[in-house]
Amino acid sequence: MNEIVLAVPVLASVGGGWGPGGPWWIFGPLMLLFWVALAATVVWLIVRRTRPAEPTANDRARGILAERFARGELSAEEYRERLEQLQ
């Protein structure tokens, strides 16, 4: 009985009793990758939400129509007719 009791502290002191570690080393880099991906996703969502919206084709057409009217290429009547068609 004394021999078994004395052998336990000796065996427990070798490597802390955990052995070589096995495949558990992969979880450290995976955790780092997870946090980096999460941070990148949050940044991407914030940038996407705060960026001004792109003008639609209808907005661009109205802008061109207004420019042509300002240059005198269209009469007021033509301008109003074409503007109504865009709406």
Q: Are 65 and 86 in contact (CB under 8 A)?
A: yes
Q: Is residue 60 part of a domain?
A: yes
Domain presence at residue 70: yes
Residue 16 has pLDDT above 70, yes or no: no
- Would residue 6 count as lying in a domain? no
- 73 in any annotated domain: yes
The pLDDT score that the predictor gives to residue 53 is 78
Q: Which of 61, 78, 81, 60 lies closest to 69 in space, CA to CA?
A: 78
Specify if 19 maps to a domain: no
Q: Which residue has the higher pLDDT, 67 or 13?
A: 67
Check residues 11 and 52 and name the one with the higher pLDDT: 52
Which residues form the domain of 58?
26-86
Q: 61: burial class by Cβ within 10 Å (0-12, 13-18, 19+)? A: middle
9 is a domain residue:
no
pLDDT score for 4: 55
- Whole-angstrom CA distances from 77 to 3, 33, 69, 72, 84 are 109, 62, 10, 12, 11
Count of domains for the chain: 1
Inside any domain, residue 2: no
At residue 37, the pLDDT reads 98
For residue 66 the two structure tokens come to 């207004």
Select the highest-mean-pLDDT range: 4-8, 24-28, 52-56: 24-28
Query: Which pTM does this prediction carry?
Result: 0.44
